[in-house]
């Protein structure tokens, strides 16, 4: 795992924790979207762009090939 993947995993955990914190009761948890397509879309809309931007930064700055030379 490169640094971008690690940061994206932490970001996904923060987003998931926020969703679970907002939906504090079991009744709201069903509507908290995690088990629905809306919840999956929400996670993808918040986590995927951040991960793609981080991967792009890593790619533009040279990526693994450049890190191996150091």
Return d(Cα 33, Cα 27) in angstroms, integer. 12
pLDDT of residue 48: 87
- Model confidence pLDDT, tens digit, residues 6-44: 888 898 888 877 777 766 655 555 555 556 666 677 778
pLDDT of residue 47: 84
pTM higher than 0.85 for the full model? Answer: no
Nearest alpha-carbon partner for 59 in 17, 11, 3, 20: 3
Domains of the chain, by residue range, sit at 3-61
Q: What are phi and psi of 36, to 5 degrees?
A: -115, 170
């Amino acid at each position: 795992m490169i640094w971008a993947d690690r940061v994206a995993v932490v970001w996904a955990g923060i987003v998931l924790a926020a969703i679970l914190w907002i939906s504090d009761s079991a009744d709201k948890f069903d509507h908290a979207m995690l088990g629905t397509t809306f919840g999956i879309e929400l996670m993808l809309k918040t986590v995927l762009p951040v991960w793609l931007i981080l991967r792009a930064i890593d790619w533009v700055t040279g990526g693994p090939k450049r890190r191996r030379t150091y």
